[in-house]
Structure 1
C-alpha cells in the first residue's frame, strides 16, 4: 500500500516518508510502515 501511495503521490507526500520512495527496497518500506497506518473503508463492513 505504501509503495502504491508513493508511486502515485510521492511528489506531494514524499516529505512525510523519511526519504523512502516508490523505488525503495522492501526493507526500507517495512522500516517506515509502523509510522504510516493504513486502513480500508468499505461499504457494508461492520
Structure 2
C-alpha cells in the first residue's frame, strides 16, 4: 500500500487488540484526535 499526500497509517499501542489502520485503512490528518507520544522508525 502506498499512502497519498495527507494520509497516515496508524497502529494502536495494544497491537494485538487494536482497531487501527490495519482494520480501517489510512486516515487523513484532520481525522486524528489525540497526541503522539512516541514515533518509532523502522531502519
TM-score (ref. length: structure 2): 0.29
* The structure with more strand, counted as a fraction of residues: 2
Rg comparison, structure with higher value:
1
TM-score (ref. length: structure 1): 0.28
